[in-house]
Chain A
Amino acid sequence: MRSIIVGAGAVGRHLCAQLSIEGHEVVLVDKDLQQVRRAERDFNIMAIEGNGASAKVLQEAQIEKADLFIAVTDIDEVNLIACILAKEFGVTRKIARVRNEEYLSSSSPLNEYRLGIDLIINPDQVMTNEILKISEISEAFEVVDLAKGEAVLVGYDIKEANPVCGISLADLKELKGLYDFVVVAIVRDGQTVIPRGGDQILPGDKLYIVVRRKDMAAVEELLSLRSKAPRKVFIIGGGDVGLRVARALESQKVEVYMVEADARRCELLADSLQHSVVLNFDGLDAHDLISEGIDTADLVIAVTESDTTNILSSLLAKHHGAKKSIIRISRPDFIPLLGKLGIDVALSARLVAANMILKFIRRGAITSAASLLGSDAEVVEFIVREKWPHVGRQLHSIEFPEGVNIGAVARRGEVIIPSGNTVLQAADRLIIFAIKDSIPLLERLMTQ
Chain B
Amino acid sequence: MKIGGITTILGWLLIFLALALLTPIGVSLYYGDGMWRVFVAVAAITFCCGAGLVALFKGEDDIGHREGFAVVGLGWLVAAFFGAMPYYLSEAIPSFIDAYFEAMSGFTTTGSTILERVEALGPSLLFWRALTHWLGGMGIIVLSLAILPILGVGGMQLFQAEMPGPTKDRLAPRIQDTARILWGVYTLFTLIETLLLMLGGMSFYDAICHSFATLATGGFSTKTASVGGFASAYIDYVIVIFMFLAGMNFTLHYRLLQGKWRQVFRNEELRFYIMMGTGAACLILIFNYIYGTYDDIVQNLRYTLFQVWSIVTTTGFGTADFDQWHPAARIILVSLMFIGGMAGSTGGGIKHVRLLIFFKYAKIQVQKLIHPKSVNTMKLDGHRVPDDVIQSILGYLSLYIVVAAVATLVVTGQGVDIVTGFTAVIATLNNIGPGLAGVGPVQNYADIPALSKVVLTLCMVAGRLELYTLAVLLVPAFWKNSHPPRLRFVRGHAAKRR
Interface residues of chain A, those whose CB is within 8 Å of chain B, are 2, 20-21, 23, 25-27, 33, 40-41, 43-46, 188-189, 191, 202
Taking the nearest CB of chain A, how far is it from the CB of B129, in angstroms? 34
Q: Is the CB of A25 within 8 A of B174?
A: yes
Residue of B152, B173, B386 touching A25 (CB-CB under 8 A): B173
Q: Is B156 an interface residue (CB 8 A)?
A: yes
Residue of B nearest to A199 (CB): B496
CA distance in complex: A188, B172 (Å): 38
Taking the nearest CB of chain A, how far is it from the CB of B263, in angstroms? 12
Q: Is the CB of A27 within 8 A of B495?
A: no
Taking the nearest CB of chain B, how far is it from the CB of A255, in angstroms? 42
| Most interface-central of B160, B173, B176, B177 (chain A CB within 10 A) | B173
Q: Is B155 an interface residue (CB 8 A)?
A: yes
CA distance in complex: A45, B495 (Å): 33
CA distance in complex: A25, B175 (Å): 9
CA distance in complex: A40, B153 (Å): 11
Q: For B65, what are the chain A residues with a Cβ–Cβ distance below 8 Å?
A: 41
Q: Is the CB of A44 within 8 A of B175?
A: yes
Given contacts A26-B173, A44-B155, 15 further A-B contacts (CB under 8 A): A2-B173, A21-B152, A25-B173, A25-B174, A25-B177, A26-B174, A27-B173, A33-B386, A41-B65, A41-B156, A43-B156, A44-B152, A44-B173, A189-B498, A191-B495
Q: For B172, what are the chain A residues with a Cβ–Cβ distance below 8 Å?
A: 25, 46
- Give chain B interface residues in 204-260, CB to chain A under 8 Å: none
CA distance in complex: A21, B157 (Å): 16
Q: Is B170 an interface residue (CB 8 A)?
A: yes
Given contacts A2-B173, A27-B173, contact A44 B386 (CB under 8 A): no
Taking the nearest CB of chain B, how far is it from the CB of A237, in angstroms? 34
Residue of B nearest to A48 (CB): B170
Q: For A27, what are the chain B residues with a Cβ–Cβ distance below 8 Å?
A: 173
Q: Is the CB of B152 within 8 A of A45?
A: no
Taking the nearest CB of chain A, how far is it from the CB of B354, in angstroms? 20
Q: For B156, what are the chain A residues with a Cβ–Cβ distance below 8 Å?
A: 40-41, 43-44
CA distance in complex: A202, B497 (Å): 10
Q: For A189, what are the chain B residues with a Cβ–Cβ distance below 8 Å?
A: 495, 498
Closest 8 CB pairs of A and B: A46-B173, A25-B173, A46-B170, A27-B173, A44-B175, A25-B174, A44-B155, A26-B173
- Give chain B interface residues in 154-169, CB to chain A under 8 Å: 155-157, 160
CA distance in complex: A41, B153 (Å): 10
CA distance in complex: A25, B176 (Å): 10
Residue of B nearest to A376 (CB): B61
Q: For B155, what are the chain A residues with a Cβ–Cβ distance below 8 Å?
A: 44
Residue of A40, A44, A191, A202 touching B174 (CB-CB under 8 A): A44
Q: For B175, what are the chain A residues with a Cβ–Cβ distance below 8 Å?
A: 44
Taking the nearest CB of chain B, how far is it from the CB of A188, in angstroms? 7
A-B CB contact pairs (8 Å), 21 listed: A20-B174, A21-B153, A23-B174, A25-B173, A25-B177, A26-B173, A27-B173, A41-B65, A41-B157, A41-B160, A43-B153, A44-B152, A44-B174, A44-B175, A44-B176, A45-B173, A46-B172, A188-B495, A188-B498, A189-B498, A202-B498
Q: For B173, what are the chain A residues with a Cβ–Cβ distance below 8 Å?
A: 2, 25-27, 44-46
Taking the nearest CB of chain A, how far is it from the CB of B117, in angstroms? 48
Taking the nearest CB of chain B, how far is it from the CB of A174, in angstroms? 23
Taking the nearest CB of chain B, how far is it from the CB of A434, in angstroms? 17
CA distance in complex: A33, B156 (Å): 17
CA distance in complex: A166, B345 (Å): 62
Taking the nearest CB of chain A, how far is it from the CB of B42, in angstroms? 33
CA distance in complex: A45, B152 (Å): 11
CA distance in complex: A41, B157 (Å): 7
CA distance in complex: A27, B172 (Å): 9
Q: For A26, what are the chain B residues with a Cβ–Cβ distance below 8 Å?
A: 173-174
Q: For A2, what are the chain B residues with a Cβ–Cβ distance below 8 Å?
A: 173
CA distance in complex: A43, B156 (Å): 7
Residue of A nearest to B168 (CB): A40
Residue of A nearest to B170 (CB): A46
Q: For B153, what are the chain A residues with a Cβ–Cβ distance below 8 Å?
A: 21, 43-44
Residue of B nearest to A26 (CB): B173
Q: For B495, what are the chain A residues with a Cβ–Cβ distance below 8 Å?
A: 188-189, 191
Taking the nearest CB of chain B, how far is it from the CB of A315, in angstroms? 27
- Give chain B interface residues in 430-475, CB to chain A under 8 Å: none
Q: Per-residue CB proximity of B471-498 to A under 8 Å, as 1/0?
A: 0000000000000000000000001001
CA distance in complex: A152, B65 (Å): 42
Taking the nearest CB of chain B, how far is it from the CB of A190, in angstroms? 11
Taking the nearest CB of chain A, how far is it from the CB of B25, in angstroms? 35
CA distance in complex: A366, B173 (Å): 25
CA distance in complex: A23, B160 (Å): 20
CA distance in complex: A46, B173 (Å): 4
CA distance in complex: A441, B359 (Å): 53
Q: For A45, what are the chain B residues with a Cβ–Cβ distance below 8 Å?
A: 173-174
| Most interface-central of A2, A45, A46, A191 (chain B CB within 10 A) | A46
Taking the nearest CB of chain B, how far is it from the CB of A165, in angstroms? 13
| Most interface-central of A20, A188, A191 (chain B CB within 10 A) | A20
Taking the nearest CB of chain A, how far is it from the CB of B32, in angstroms? 47
Q: For A188, what are the chain B residues with a Cβ–Cβ distance below 8 Å?
A: 495, 498
CA distance in complex: A23, B175 (Å): 11
Taking the nearest CB of chain A, how far is it from the CB of B159, in angstroms? 10
CA distance in complex: A222, B364 (Å): 78
CA distance in complex: A111, B5 (Å): 48
- Give chain B interface residues in 362-386, CB to chain A under 8 Å: 386
Residue of B nearest to A62 (CB): B173
Q: For B176, what are the chain A residues with a Cβ–Cβ distance below 8 Å?
A: 44
Q: For A46, what are the chain B residues with a Cβ–Cβ distance below 8 Å?
A: 170, 172-173
CA distance in complex: A33, B389 (Å): 13
Q: For A43, what are the chain B residues with a Cβ–Cβ distance below 8 Å?
A: 153, 156
Taking the nearest CB of chain A, how far is it from the CB of B224, in angstroms? 46
Taking the nearest CB of chain A, how far is it from the CB of B400, in angstroms? 24
CA distance in complex: A360, B155 (Å): 28
CA distance in complex: A44, B177 (Å): 11
CA distance in complex: A202, B496 (Å): 11
Taking the nearest CB of chain B, how far is it from the CB of A293, in angstroms? 41
Residue of B nearest to A189 (CB): B498
- Give chain B interface residues in 89-136, CB to chain A under 8 Å: none
Q: For A41, what are the chain B residues with a Cβ–Cβ distance below 8 Å?
A: 65, 156-157, 160
Residue of B nearest to A42 (CB): B156
CA distance in complex: A44, B157 (Å): 9
Taking the nearest CB of chain A, how far is it from the CB of B278, in angstroms? 33
Residue of B nearest to A191 (CB): B495
Residue of A nearest to B383 (CB): A49
CA distance in complex: A41, B386 (Å): 17
Q: For B174, what are the chain A residues with a Cβ–Cβ distance below 8 Å?
A: 20, 23, 25-26, 44-45
Taking the nearest CB of chain B, how far is it from the CB of A45, in angstroms? 6
CA distance in complex: A23, B177 (Å): 11
Taking the nearest CB of chain A, how far is it from the CB of B259, in angstroms? 15
Taking the nearest CB of chain B, how far is it from the CB of A441, in angstroms? 13
CA distance in complex: A191, B494 (Å): 13
Taking the nearest CB of chain B, how far is it from the CB of A135, in angstroms? 32
CA distance in complex: A217, B495 (Å): 32
Taking the nearest CB of chain B, how far is it from the CB of A253, in angstroms? 44
Q: For A202, what are the chain B residues with a Cβ–Cβ distance below 8 Å?
A: 498
Residue of B nearest to A46 (CB): B173
Taking the nearest CB of chain B, how far is it from the CB of A204, in angstroms? 9
- Give chain B interface residues in 46-104, CB to chain A under 8 Å: 65
Q: Per-residue CB proximity of B270-303 to A under 8 Å, as 1/0?
A: 0000000000000000000000000000000000
Q: Per-residue CB proximity of B394-433 to A under 8 Å, as 1/0?
A: 0000000000000000000000000000000000000000
Taking the nearest CB of chain B, how far is it from the CB of A58, in angstroms? 14
Taking the nearest CB of chain B, how far is it from the CB of A75, in angstroms? 24
Q: For A40, what are the chain B residues with a Cβ–Cβ distance below 8 Å?
A: 156
Residue of A nearest to B153 (CB): A44
